[in-house]
A and B are shown apart, each in its own frame.
Chain A
């Protein structure tokens, strides 16, 4: 890094941060406290408190006016009254629309995750085993779509799968009649796999590239066939990568809104879309809030699984 200059360093008071440090000391704050406090306060105000607000409003009901929900606390002749409504949650359990939307979201997210894993695993493995000069280029090719707009990539798929789109034009060359792909659940699976595939490949790659080649050779030397080696060595060792990648696809897919509304049909039920319509079309904010809380409950377990898998990967890194 920097070499030691023969010139003496500028006197301390000229450095701008000396003043800054003195100022901090003057008001009795250590730099360390400030470093922690700034992001902590921001996240409390703009991440944790909003979730509490959502929970609070999910316990009120829609009304006409501004804001379009009933207040939880009312003052009536000097006494403060707390009114909580459970009707939104009751509705979630009794109205078939919500139950069906939850189940269908979980199904769609699960199937898409499995497909993404089946495509992403061999790709990650191929990149990890590729010759050195290829590896960086292949990795860049995986990351590149991630940097380009998500919305525009979904749009690119509509041009591909439409009735008169690229695939059907291609099939038409062989006299095959057009296949209806758009506005089906199939299109939603393709959309989720297509847009989230890099999230599956990257953690798998990080995991597989560290796989010790000697283990595979030992297994082969002992007479195991490639399939056996894969099942009893590669697969178990890459479990943290599989879990991390799968959760990174599954969790956002559950709440996906753009993909079902651009690629799915009217019958494609997903909870993110239900929440959106509840909010924007029906302007029922308390109901939308209840849907959000219920969605959080669904994604909490996958989020904890993800955290565990990431910790395992990090521990692995520390030990090597």
Chain B
């Protein structure tokens, strides 16, 4: 450590900045008082209130369904795109595919949302499909931007993958499809799991795109949270946030532990 105190102190302050608001959010979810920032004693009543709120529960169920289907579609399409980009070095339109698959990563949400909505309206006018907007249109929209994330995750795994394994299988007479299912798929499986999980959480979290492409009666969880939060602070949102943060923290901890156990050397290197 050359610059003795400077790095540790800035890193500590940086992490404090990242975590202090989250910690206070969690602490005040157990607050008796409705005033979110004045401590009125320990209580779990906001959790009870949250679980008794049919609007919240309905929105949460809708969001979970959307996230499940979007992540699954994005997994298939993103993996195919990654295989095409990494394995097929040359084909017509490779640069176009590479550009369009990663563009949704950085495209501002308001543009993606507006563009898809206008497409759906134009399609409904000319083709008669999709009739109205809701679950299906949100799933299509989420699959599109989630596949970009899946593709990036799978691409990096495919790139540092020992090609000789595939070649050996081919030499032994396996067809390309069989090589994919028998050799490639098991090796990239960890990337597929993390890609799916990433897509799932991103879909669960999206407010802007869903607001554009949803219809009446299909309010997702972020849309309900946003309309509540806009009116001010509400302790049941704190409770919901605490539950979500708890699940995510557990998942990330478990994944890290598994990774450390599976590749103790790689993790240390």
| Chain A residues engaging chain B, CB cutoff 8 angstroms | 1-2, 15, 17-18, 20-21, 31-32, 35-36, 38-40, 42-44, 46-51, 53-54, 57, 67, 119-120, 122-123, 125-127, 129, 132-133, 136, 138, 140-145, 147-153, 155-160, 162, 164-166, 169, 194, 197, 216, 220, 226, 247-248, 251-252, 254-258, 261-262, 272, 275-276, 279-280, 285, 288-289, 292, 295-296, 299, 303, 306-307
Contact = CB atoms under 8 A, between A and B. Distances in A.
A224 B172 CA distance: 58
A129 B7 contact: yes
B129 interface: no
A303 to B, nearest CB: 6
Contact of B77 (A39, A148, A289): A39
Given A54-B118, A127-B11, A160-B20, A1 B177 contact: no
A66 to B, nearest CB: 8
Contact of A151 (B114, B121, B207): B207
B85 to A, nearest CB: 9
Contacts of B21: 153, 156-157, 159-160, 166, 194
A39 B81 contact: yes
Given A148-B22, A257-B208, A129 B245 contact: no
Contacts of A120: 14
B268 interface: yes
A123 B106 CA distance: 23
A158 B229 contact: yes
B144 A47 contact: yes
Contacts of A18: 175, 178
Contacts of B44: none
Instruction: Name the residue among A120, A147, A303 with the largest chain B CB count within 10 angstroms.
Output: A147
Given A31-B177, A151-B226, A296 B111 contact: yes
B225 A152 contact: yes
A179 B165 CA distance: 63
Closest 5 CB pairs of A and B: A255-B108, A50-B115, A126-B11, A39-B81, A156-B21
Interface residues of B, number: 98
Contact of B35 (A57, A164, A194): A164
Contacts of A158: 229, 233
Contacts of B226: 151, 258
B147 interface: yes
16 contacts: A1-B186, A39-B77, A39-B147, A44-B100, A53-B119, A67-B121, A122-B10, A127-B11, A155-B225, A160-B24, A164-B35, A252-B109, A255-B109, A255-B110, A299-B106, A303-B103
Contact of B10 (A39, A119, A143, A280): A119
B43 to A, nearest CB: 17
Contacts of B201: 147
Nearest to B13: A119
Contacts of A142: 18
Question: Most chain-B Cβ atoms within 10 A of its Cβ — which of A50, A158, A162?
Answer: A50
B93 A194 contact: no
A122 B6 contact: yes
Contact of B97 (A39, A140, A303): A39
